Amino acid sequence: MSLIYGRSIGRSWPRVGSIHPAFSSSRYPGFLRPCHHLDFQLRGLAAPAHRGYAESKLDLPSLDKKWRKTWDSIRDSTTRSEAGARLEGARNGWSDAQIGPGSTTDAEKKYILPMFPYPSGTLHLGHLRVYTIADVVARYHVLNGREVLLPMGWDAFGLPAENAAIERGINPATWTKTNISKMKEQLDVMNGSWDWSRELATCDPAFYKHTQSIFLRLHENGLAYQDEAEVNYDPIDKTVLANEQVDANGCSWRSGAKVEKRKLKQWFLRISKYRDSLLQDLGILAKDGAWPERVLAMQKNWLGKSVGASIKFPVLAFNQDVHVAIEVFTSRPDTLFGVQYLALASTHPIVTKLAKKDPGLQAFLDTLPGLPPDSKVGYLLPHIRAVNPLAYHEETPEATKKSLPVYVAPYVLGDYGEGAVMGVPGHDIRDHAFWKTHHYDEPVRLVLAASEDESTTALPNEPFVEHGVLTKQSGFYEGKSSQEAGQMLVSLLEPADLAKPVEKWRLRDWLISRQRYWGTPIPIIHCESCGAVPVPEEELPVALPDVEAHWAGGKNGNPLETLTEWVETTCPKCGGHAKRDTDTMDTFVDSSWYFMRFVDPHNSEVPFSPETAKSLLPVDIYIGGIEHAILHLLYARFIYKFLMASSTTQEYGVSNEIYEPFKRLVSQGMVHGKTYSDPSTGRFLKPDEVDLSDPSNPKVVATGEPTLVSFEKMSKSKYNGVDPTGFISQYGADATRAHMLFQAPVSEILDWDGGKVIGVTRWLGRVYDLVVKTQDTPVSTEFPTPKTYFEHTSKKLDSLGPEELARWDADSAIWRDVQKTILSVSASYDKVYTLNTIVSDLMSLTNTIIANDGASTFIQREALSALVRMAAPITPAFAEECWSILQPDAHSIFFCQQPLSALFPVIDGSLSLLQSRKQRCAIQVNGRLRFVVEIPQPPALEGDELRDWLIDEIKKTDEGKTKMSPTTDGSPASIDVASAKKIVVVKAGKLVNFVI
Ligand SMILES: [Zn+2]
C-alpha cells in the first residue's frame, strides 16, 4: 500500500465517458473485477471540476444515485468494449483461447450466488437480506483482487403467474415480464452489483430449450421415465404434486388443499439412482462447516437410508383368496419375538382385494381421508390370521407361536417399506399406542430389556424402544444383544426364504409432471405405434403456444390439453399420427440447473460449454433460506452429479473430481416485522390504530393503552410488512444495508426495527465529518507508508518532546486499532455468518480515531482510508464518496484502483512497533486497591527517584488529581500522600502501595 497524499490535486469527480479498451480485457465478460492498470487511464479521463465538501451535507439517498450512475457508465463502457472483443474473438476462435485452461490470468475466481427470486413483482425484506449478504460478500472479494461472478436471474415459471393470469385475464408471460422489470429496478436501487449481462429467466425459450435437452439426456439414460402411479392431486390448483410438496397433514404446500390420491401416468426422474452418492457426499459438505449441519441433517433424513430386514409372515386365510405371506420391512428384527399383530396400509394389495367383498372394510376406508395422521383407528380383518415365522422353530416360546390378528391401520404408510408393519407393542411407541387402543386388556410382551438382569426394564405402561438384551420371552436367544440377535434371527430364517437383510430408502423418484400451462413443456411425442418418442434435439425448444383466448376467458385447467393444433403432430420416428405430451415440468427442474447456465448464458448450442463449466463451477458461496434445505438443494445436487460426473454424458463430462454444485451454503435467517397488538383483545393493530408520537411508548389510538410489541413473521394479516424500497429511498441503500447486517448474525432471525437505522446513519455521518475534516489539512509526504513512519519514529522515542510523544501515542493507538480491525473484519467477511460484527468493529474504530484527535494527519488519513475501504462492501456508494475525497485522483474503489491488484486493507506487520507507551498502575492504601490509572511507561529510574516520578504521574491523571491532591475548597484529599509512613513500589511501577 503506498498512499502518498498530494494536497489538492484537484478534487474531481470521475467522469467516465469512454474507457480505453484495455480496461475491459476481462477473461470473463461481464465479470465485476478489479482492474489492474486503470489508474493512469482514468487519470486522463477525469475532468477537473472543483467542488468544496466542507459545506456539503451528507445526503445518503443522493449518493446512491450519483454512484450508481458512475458505476453504470463504467459498466456500459466495459460491456461495449467487451462485446467488441467478443466479436473480434469469435472470428479468431477467441472463446476457447480466453476461457480455456490455457488462460494466463491467475486471479482467483469466486462464484457467489444468492438463490434466484420468483418474480412476484415486489422485493420484500427477506429478499433484501439475502441479496445484501450476497452483494456484500461479492464486493469484498472484488476488493481482494478476485474475479467475481455475481449473476441474477428469475425463477419465472410456476403456478402463481398462471393463477394471476387467469384472475387478471392476461398472458402469464406478460405478467411475469412486468414483474421482472419492477424487481430488477428494486435490485439496482439496493446498490447491488449484479452482472445483468448474464441475466436469465427460466420461462425464456432460450433457457427452457436447454431444460428440455437436459430432460432428453436424462431420458436417453433411463433416468426420465413414465409410470402409472398413485399421485398426490391438488384439487384446488388442479395439478399433481411431488411427495415433497405435501405437508405432514396431507395438504398441498402451495394451495393448502387436502391432497387427493389418484392413479395417473406421470413422468419421473430417477433420482433414486443417485441416492448413494447423494448420501455419501454429504460428508464432503460437512467438512469445515461448509454446509449448515441442520441442512445436512434434513437431507440425510429425506434420503432416509435404513438397514433392516424384510420378513415374511405366512397367512392363514379362511375362505379368502389372499397372498400366502405378508412381507414387512423392519429396522428392528431383534424384536421379532415380540410381534403381537400385523397392520396393513389402506393401499396394500390385500386390502384393495378384500375391500371389494367386504362392505365394512370399504366403509372404513372411506372414512380415512378425513382422519388426522396420528389416528389410532384400525379395522380387524375377519377370517385372516398371520403367523410369526419363528413359530416354525420348536424352541420358540408358546406366546410367539400364537397366530396374529391382521389390521388395516392408517398409521401405516403405503409408500414406505412394504405398506405393512409388524406390530411390536412392547418396543415401539406407535405400535404400543395402537395395541392399547384395540387390546387394552391383553398384556404387552416385553422381549428386550436394558440389561441382562432385567432390573431396569421399562415401566409396564411404556414401550422400551432402546436397544438392549433379549429376555426369556425370546426363548433360546435370551441374553443376546439386540444387534447380535437381530442378525442371527435373519440368518436363521433366510434359508427358508422367510427373511432377508435389506436396505430401505425414504427417497422416492422425483415426479415432475404438472398438468399446468406455465412451465417447460415436456419434449415428448406420443405415437400409437412407437410409444413415447423424444422430440428431435434440432426441433427444440418445444415452445409454449399462445393461448390468449384462454386467459381472456379466465378459464381454469391446462389449455394445452385442448389446443388441438398444438397437440396433434406427426411421430418423429415413423411419421404417423401422434400427440404432444401436454404436461409441463415441475419448476424445480428449472432451478435444478440454472446456476450452471449462468456460467455460459448465451450459448445457444448446449446448456453450457464444458470448458466454461470447468473454470467457473462449482458455485463457491450459495446463499438462501432454510426452506430450500431439501427439495431444491437435493434436486440441484442430483442434476449436477448427472451432468458433471456421469460417464455416459461425456459431452458434459467435465471432471470426475466435481461432485457437488455448491462448495459452501450459507443459510440466512428470516426477517420478522415489528408487530403491534391490542393488549385487551390480542388483535393485531393497523398502522393508523397505533399512536407512535412517542416511539418508545406506542399506544392504542382508541384506548390510549400501551400496545403490545412483538416481532413476527411478516404477513398482511399482522400489518407488519415493510416496503424495502420506500425505506431505501428515505435512508439510502447503504444505511439500509448496514442496518440490516448490523442487527443480527446472518443465520439468525432478524427483528426488523426501522427506527434503529439512526445508529448507522449517525455513524456514517461521523465518518463523513472526519473525512471532510482531513481533506484540507496538509499531509506530510516524508514516509511512504505508516509502517515506515512507525519504524523510523520508534527508534528515536527517547529524543521526542512531550508533544511529539503525545502524537506518537495517538498515532500508535489508532494504528493498533486499524490492524486489529483489519484482522477481525476480514475474518468476518470470509466467514459470512458474522457480517453483523463488521459494522460494530468499524464503529469502534471510528471512535478510536475520534478519541485520538491528537494524532498526525498522516495516520488519521491512512486510518480513514482503511476504514472506508473496509466499509466499502457494505456501504459502497458512501465509501466511494469518501474515497473520492481522500483520493481525489483514484476514482472508484470497485472499478479503478491503485496499480496494485487488491484494495482491501491488509495488516502491515507494524503491530510489534505499536506497543503502548502507557502502562496501568494500581494504587493501594494499606494493601487494599483504591483505583487504577494509566500512566506513561516509567523511564529508567530506580528507588526514590522512580517513586517520586510515579507519584507525579499518578497525580497528573484525572483520578489521581481528585484523590491525591488537596481539593480547592481546602478539604483533605482522600489519600494523603504526605502522611504515608511508607510508599512501596512493586513491579517497576505497576503497583504503588501507600502505608498510612
Ligand atoms: Zn411412431
- Separation of alpha carbons 921 and 932, rounded Å: 6
In angstroms, the Cα distances linking 174 to 156, 168, 206 are 11, 11, 17
Q: What DSSP element (H or E) covers 228?
A: strand 224-234
Model pLDDT for residues 156-202, shown as the tens digit of each residue: 999 888 888 888 888 999 999 999 999 999 999 999 999 999 999 99
Question: Does residue 8 have a pLDDT over 90?
Answer: no
In this structure, the answer to whether residues 709 and 807 fall within a common structural domain is no
Residue 234 lies in a domain: no
Separation of CA 526 and ligand 1 centre (Å): 8
Separation of CA 582 and ligand 1 centre (Å): 17
In this structure, the answer to whether residues 772 and 729 fall within a common structural domain is no
CA triplet 338, 342, 343: central angle to 5 degrees? Answer: 135
The domain tally of the chain equals 4
- Separation of alpha carbons 790 and 814, rounded Å: 12
> 517, 584 in Cβ contact below 8 A?
yes
Separation of CA 531 and ligand 1 centre (Å): 7
Model pLDDT for residues 685-694, shown as the tens digit of each residue: 988 899 988 8
Residue 843 lies in a domain: yes
Residue where one domain finishes, among candidates 859, 893, 914: 914
Q: Read off the amino acid at residue 33.
A: R
In this structure, the answer to whether residues 411 and 310 fall within a common structural domain is yes
Q: What DSSP element (H or E) covers 423?
A: strand 420-423
pLDDT class of 11 with cuts at 50, 70, 90:
very low
Q: In 10 A of CB 113, how many CB atoms?
A: 23
Higher pLDDT, 199 or 366: 199
In this structure, the answer to whether residues 807 and 952 fall within a common structural domain is no
pLDDT class of 649 with cuts at 50, 70, 90:
very low
Q: In 10 A of CB 655, how many CB atoms?
A: 12
Q: Which three cell numbers stand for residue 223?
A: 433416468
Q: What is the CATH number for 462?
A: 3.90.740.10
State the sign of the Cα–Cα–Cα–Cα dihedral 770, 775, 780, 783.
Answer: positive
Model pLDDT for residues 450-464, shown as the tens digit of each residue: 877 665 555 667 888
- Separation of alpha carbons 529 and 524, rounded Å: 14
Q: What is the CATH number for 925?
A: 3.10.20.590
Tell me the pLDDT of the chain averaged across its residues: 84
- Separation of alpha carbons 935 and 951, rounded Å: 10
Q: What is the CATH number for 895?
A: 1.10.730.10
Mean pLDDT (whole number) for 634-659:
69
Question: Does residue 960 have a pLDDT over 70?
Answer: yes
Residue 780 lies in a domain: yes
Half-sphere exposure of 6 (CA within 13 A, CB side): 7
- Separation of alpha carbons 880 and 770, rounded Å: 15
Q: What DSSP element (H or E) covers 88?
A: helix 60-91
Separation of CA 573 and ligand 1 centre (Å): 5
Residue where one domain finishes, among candidates 914, 932, 953: 914
Q: State the DSSP string of 741-804.
A: HHTS-TTSPEEE-GGGHHHHHHHHHHHHHHHHHHHTS----S-SSHHHHHHHHHTTGGG--HHH
Residue with cell 471510528: 846
Contacts of 696 (CB under 8 A, 6+ apart): none
Mean pLDDT (whole number) for 686-709:
89
Separation of CA 539 and ligand 1 centre (Å): 16
Separation of CA 578 and ligand 1 centre (Å): 7
Half-sphere exposure of 222 (CA within 13 A, CB side): 5
- Separation of alpha carbons 755 and 772, rounded Å: 27
Query: Chain centroid to CA 476: how far?
Result: 54
In this structure, the answer to whether residues 349 and 457 fall within a common structural domain is yes
In this structure, the answer to whether residues 379 and 478 fall within a common structural domain is yes
Separation of CA 543 and ligand 1 centre (Å): 21
Separation of CA 219 and ligand 1 centre (Å): 17
- Separation of alpha carbons 102 and 330, rounded Å: 56
Separation of CA 861 and ligand 1 centre (Å): 78
State the sign of the Cα–Cα–Cα–Cα dihedral 392, 397, 400, 402.
Answer: positive
State the sign of the Cα–Cα–Cα–Cα dihedral 929, 934, 937, 943.
Answer: negative
Separation of CA 544 and ligand 1 centre (Å): 23
Residue 876's pLDDT is: 97
Coil, strand or helix at 521: strand
Q: What is the 3-state secondary structure (H, E, C) of 831-889?
A: HCCCHHHHHHHHHHHHHHHHHCCCCCHHHHHHHHHHHHHHHCCCCHHHHHHHHHHHCCC
Query: Length of the chain, please?
Result: 996
Q: Which of 35, 17, 285, 13 is nearest to 899 (CA)?
A: 35
Separation of CA 577 and ligand 1 centre (Å): 7
> Before 541, cis peptide (omega within 30)?
yes
Separation of CA 580 and ligand 1 centre (Å): 12
Separation of CA 581 and ligand 1 centre (Å): 14
Query: In the 8-state DSSP scheme, what is residue 985?
Result: E
Q: Which three cell numbers stand for residue 343?
A: 397392520
Q: Which of 264-273, 446-455, 777-786, 958-967 has the highest mean pLDDT?
A: 264-273
Separation of CA 606 and ligand 1 centre (Å): 27
Residue 720's pLDDT is: 85
Residue 105 lies in a domain: no
Residue 106 lies in a domain: no
- Separation of alpha carbons 792 and 482, rounded Å: 75
Separation of CA 419 and ligand 1 centre (Å): 39
- Separation of alpha carbons 152 and 184, rounded Å: 9
Separation of CA 570 and ligand 1 centre (Å): 8
Q: Which of 602, 605, 540, 599 is nearest to 216 (CA)?
A: 540
Half-sphere exposure of 745 (CA within 13 A, CB side): 8
In this structure, the answer to whether residues 440 and 499 fall within a common structural domain is yes
> 399, 472 in Cβ contact below 8 A?
no
Q: Which of 218, 258, 267, 254 is nearest to 235 (CA)?
A: 258
Higher pLDDT, 890 or 595: 595
Higher pLDDT, 983 or 324: 983
pTM, entire model: 0.78
In this structure, the answer to whether residues 473 and 327 fall within a common structural domain is yes
Model pLDDT for residues 312-326, shown as the tens digit of each residue: 999 998 877 776 899
In this structure, the answer to whether residues 469 and 372 fall within a common structural domain is yes
Separation of CA 579 and ligand 1 centre (Å): 10
Separation of CA 273 and ligand 1 centre (Å): 29
Residue where one domain finishes, among candidates 476, 504, 532: 504
pLDDT class of 596 with cuts at 50, 70, 90:
very high
Question: Does residue 655 have a pLDDT over 60?
Answer: no
Radius of gyration from C-alpha coordinates of the chain: 37
Residue 372 lies in a domain: yes
Separation of CA 534 and ligand 1 centre (Å): 11
Instruction: Quote the domain boundaries for residue 34.
Output: 21-41+72-78+764-914
In angstroms, the Cα distances linking 882 to 60, 747, 765 are 12, 31, 11
Q: In 10 A of CB 478, how many CB atoms?
A: 16
Model pLDDT for residues 106-150, shown as the tens digit of each residue: 568 999 999 999 998 888 999 999 999 999 999 999 999 888 999
Separation of CA 576 and ligand 1 centre (Å): 5
Q: Which of 408, 431, 236, 255 is nearest to 332 (CA)?
A: 431
Q: Is 812 exposed, middle or buried (0-12, 13-18, 19+ CB in 10 A)?
A: buried
- Separation of alpha carbons 497 and 509, rounded Å: 29
Pairs from 962-967 (Cβ < 8 Å, separation ≥ 24) = 963/930, 963/931
pLDDT class of 310 with cuts at 50, 70, 90:
very high
Separation of CA 563 and ligand 1 centre (Å): 21
Mean pLDDT (whole number) for 834-845:
96
Separation of CA 530 and ligand 1 centre (Å): 4
Residue 26's pLDDT is: 35
Separation of CA 572 and ligand 1 centre (Å): 7
Higher pLDDT, 100 or 680: 680
In this structure, the answer to whether residues 872 and 975 fall within a common structural domain is no
In this structure, the answer to whether residues 858 and 939 fall within a common structural domain is no
Residue 29 lies in a domain: yes
In angstroms, the Cα distances linking 156 to 174, 585, 673 are 11, 13, 27
In this structure, the answer to whether residues 351 and 494 fall within a common structural domain is yes
Query: In the 8-state DSSP scheme, what is residue 416?
Result: S
pLDDT class of 301 with cuts at 50, 70, 90:
very high
Residue 868 lies in a domain: yes
Distance, first Cα to last Cα, the chain = 56
